[in-house]
Structure 1
């Protein structure tokens, strides 16, 4: 009981420190989404074969709505495969506001975003310009799906159906993430204290170069909470930075789930899912190799 109370108190204090930063981050996100959402969608749809650039830029906005929109656009033959992959790989979802809430990790956040955006553009261009003649049309796209507007969060409206103030939506998202982070911190703390920090660290460390591969699989989970889980594991020291990058590259929120629902070609959906995982895992392993060589 004493151990539980100690971990409970420590988790509550550490999580509470993030609240002001989380709220401000979500307030900015809600403002951008509410005031400029339609313009952003139009920019994404009008990029053509150069859509990887706006796709990567929009994907790094910390919310999974754009990955869902991109999936719908791809299913409706509005955007290319390269643009879709650029959005997926650049998406970090809830990881950004979480890292923003921790000033000590702002430098890592900047490096993370630069790596993901540049990598997303490179992969997008490779698919649309280099590999477009190699990949068969059945995998690149060409089927017509049903395009509905989908968002990973609830509709931002009050009980009377009127648009809710952005501060209310921001507060709701802040509290939702707060509860998840607190619960994760509590469970993680109990596990670490129960089995010992050395044992837990050795388990993850024993994965070696396979750690980014596992992290990339976790990122594929079609839920906004996956990015929070990966970020917390990194903050707790259980994941290397390369593994965090790998997991967040594949963490497209509900984008993949929307793709499987709206796009009728299971071959395309399976190929894109595997491509997303492979791209994220490859980048994570490549970063580890570079670090090992130049360390």
Structure 2
């Protein structure tokens, strides 16, 4: 147990400078481009899912939460919302960068998410958008930071520091649990839970990804980097991982049946794309 604790501390501490620099860049990007990207998606019209998928992949503070607010005000359509949800990755990108994952691998993962998000959003748009004819009053997008408590208003350095500390704690605790579990039952046994039966890994990973918390994307990314889950399960979990966007959706959109249908659609899409990636033998 002492060895597990020591390894977890060392592995987590060495990520700190990389996490801070990554979040500093992300905060700077958000402060300079956030409002312009939101306006672009609002004015995209029928091309909303395309812009949602393309712009959703850009790391920003509370982008999925902003999308939930816009959808609750009927400023964007269901297809655009789904595209943004599928494209965002919460804490995946900072972890991949801090773990020195090759740039080519990161680009492949992000590119795949964008393509999947755009195609899925357009399909959802064709199925649902004609049913959403009522235009409701636009909501105030500034409520997003209050809902997420992301402290975007504190300045980029303070915000980056707070994000770094928060995710460091998540990484440390999750790594400690994973290292302990792996030490007890063995890496091969744990991997067998995800890969022993077809589709099971994607079903489980997508369920984990639905958890509206930073921890879910941390778990999925770490499991993939540790070789516990494969590309299909990883993508299934990260596609459905919209972070606090789901919480904001339920808080602001009072049509709870519609909210449940959106989340169910996200889950089905995540599993289907994950299974397809696994069946095609795609490796990132």
TM-score by length of 2: 0.91
User: Which whole-Å deviations, capped at 9, do the CAs of 1:26-56 have from their partners, x for residues lacking one?
Assistant: 0111111122222122112111110112211
The alignment status of 1:131 with 2:127, answered yes or no, reads yes
Equivalence map 1:134-213=2 (5 Å): 137=131, 140=132, 142=134, 144=136, 147-148=139-140, 149-151=143-145, 152-157=148-153, 164-213=154-203
In 2, are the aligned partners of 1:99 and 1:106 still within 8 Å (CA)? no
Within a 5 Å distance, the mapping from 1:47-58 to structure 2 comes to: 47-58=44-55
Who wins on radius of gyration, i.e. which is larger? Answer: 1
Structure 1 segments (4+ residues) deviating >4 Å: none
Q: Which residue of 2 aligns with 1:234?
A: 224
Flag the 1:14–1:105 CA change in 2: closer, same or farther, 3 A: farther
Deviation at 1:116, TM superposition (A): 0.6
Superposed CA RMSD? 2.1
Deviation at 1:143, TM superposition (A): 6.8
Equivalent residues of 2:194, 2:200 under 8 A apart: no
Deviation, 1:145, is 7.2
Q: How far 1:125 sits from its partner (Å)?
A: 1.7
Match of 1:284 in 2: 274
Deviations 1:156-210 (A, max 9, x none): 45xxxxxx33112111211211111111111111111122223222223224322
Contact preservation (8 Å) 1:62, 1:94: no
Counterpart CA distance in 1 for 2:197 and 2:149 is 34
Alignment correspondent of 1:263: 253
Please, which runs of 5 or more residues in structure 2 have no aligned partner?
none
Number of the residue aligned with 2:22: 25
- Post-superposition offset of 1:59: 1.3
Q: Is the 8 A contact 2:194 2:204 kept in 1?
A: no
Match of 1:161 in 2: none
Matches within 5 A, 1:33-52: 33-52=30-49
Cα deviations by residue, 1:110-158 (Å, 9 ceiling, x for unpaired): 1111111011111122233x435xx772xx474747734213343245x
SS in 2 for 1:291: coil
Distance, in Å, in 1 between the alignment partners of 2:276 and 2:61 is: 26
Q: Which is worse superposed, 249-258 or 34-43?
A: 34-43
